[in-house]
């Protein structure tokens, strides 16, 4: 079975119309989730918790899309 990992994270943006964080050191990592449904639930909870702050924004990153298991390992993976 293929895993579809998702990362939920967020923080204060410089401008609510853009996606640049005000301070990268303060990014809130909510967690890594095994499927989109659980990631969405976590994202929704954080988004609702911070709904009154227009500069706070949370995102879901599709980590599983960063890797193509059919491709050979990159040179950096082989260093590990």
Domains of the chain and any CATH numbers: 6-79 (3.30.70.2400)
Decide if pLDDT at 75 tops 80. no
Q: What's the chain's length in residues?
A: 80
Query: Which residue has better confidence, 11 or 1?
Result: 11
Note the pLDDT of residue 43: 96
Question: What does the pLDDT read at residue 49?
Answer: 96
pTM (2 decimals)? 0.79
Quick one: which of 80, 79, 35, 77 has its CA closest to 60?
35
Render the burial of 16-42: b for 16+ CB within 10 Å, e for the rest. Answer: eeeeebeeeeeeeebeebeeeeebeeb
Helices (H), the chain: 36-49, 75-79
pLDDT in tens, 7-50: 999 999 999 999 999 999 999 999 999 999 999 999 999 999 99
pLDDT grade for 70, boundaries at 50, 70 and 90: low
Across the chain, which distance is largest between two alpha carbons, in Å? 46
């Amino acid at each position: 079975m293929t895993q579809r990992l998702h990362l939920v994270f967020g923080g204060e943006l410089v401008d609510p119309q853009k996606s640049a964080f005000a301070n990268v050191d303060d990014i809130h990592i909510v967690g890594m989730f095994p499927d989109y449904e659980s990631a969405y639930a976590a994202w929704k909870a954080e988004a609702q918790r911070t709904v009154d702050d227009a500069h706070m924004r949370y995102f879901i990153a599709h980590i599983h899309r960063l890797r193509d298991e059919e491709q050979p390992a990159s040179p950096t993976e082989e260093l590990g």
